[in-house]
């Protein structure tokens, strides 16, 4: 383990800047399609141009930012077709993750999943979108980590990353109506009963639940938004 990999070790400046700009994008401070001006970011973070550019290239690799020569960086605008693709791919991957839990479901796993659901309910009641999303991601992440399939976990993480700004925008408007925790309860109950195939099918349906609202959000953002 290198010093940078150790818990609490300071990250290189470009990675720190990447996380800060990423959070701004997810929170909607930089809307889809808007330019990311390097000079403005330099002034905001009091640093030179090189680490800002490196951070933006890291975000480009993660799919949140696009870059065109002589036109600079922009926040990626996700199209309706891409939204459908994201949901379709994620549904397949998440379903596969649950299918892989055959013979691996333990009381500790079920307890952890229920704890994440309880957190989701608390944050929904408190109208805390960021923490609600974090608890939701933790629920799904726990399933994947328990499976122990690194390539699958990285693939799902990449799909989640593309959808993160859209997910936040959607829940800002509809957090009180979200029933993700209740749908998670159904999946946990099926896992507890060792009905793995049914749990996998429930996960597949669960992923698609939010697609209509996501498509509506993308369509509204496209009207009158930045090019």
| pLDDT number for residue 10 | 60
Residue keyed to tokens 């809307």? 31
DSSP state for residue 48 in the 8-state scheme: -
Domains belonging to the chain, first-starting first, are: 3-75 (1.10.10.10), 80-222 (1.20.120.530)
Q: pLDDT tens, 29-76?
A: 999 999 999 999 999 999 999 999 999 999 999 999 999 988 899 999
Residue keyed to tokens 């009091």? 46
What are the C-alpha distances in Å from 127 to residues 4, 131, 177, 181? 35, 9, 11, 14
Name the residue among 92, 113, 94, 96 with its Cα closest to residue 191.
Answer: 113
Whole-model pTM: value is: 0.86
């Amino acid at each position: 383990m290198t010093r940078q990999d150790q818990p609490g070790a300071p990250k290189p400046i470009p990675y720190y800047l990447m996380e800060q700009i990423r959070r701004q994008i997810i929170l909607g401070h930089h809307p889809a399609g808007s330019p990311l001006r390097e000079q403005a970011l330099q002034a905001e973070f009091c640093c030179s141009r090189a680490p800002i550019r490196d951070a933006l290239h890291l975000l480009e690799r993660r799919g949140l930012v696009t870059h065109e020569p002589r036109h600079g960086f922009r926040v990626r605008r996700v199209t309706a077709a891409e939204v459908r693709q994201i949901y379709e791919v994620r549904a397949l991957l998440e379903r596969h993750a649950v299918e892989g839990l055959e013979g691996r479901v333990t009381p500790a796993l079920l307890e952890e999943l229920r704890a994440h659901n309880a957190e989701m309910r608390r944050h929904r009641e408190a109208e805390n979108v960021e923490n609600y999303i974090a608890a939701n991601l933790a629920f799904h992440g726990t399933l994947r980590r328990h499976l122990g399939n690194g390539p699958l976990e990285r693939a799902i993480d990449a799909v989640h990353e593309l959808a993160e700004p859209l997910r936040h925008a959607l829940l800002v408007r509809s957090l009180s109506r979200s029933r993700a925790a209740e749908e998670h309860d159904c999946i946990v109950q099926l896992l507890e009963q060792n009905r793995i195939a049914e749990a996998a099918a429930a996960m597949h349906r669960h992923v698609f639940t939010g697609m209509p609202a996501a498509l509506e959000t993308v369509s509204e953002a496209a009207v009158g938004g930045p090019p």
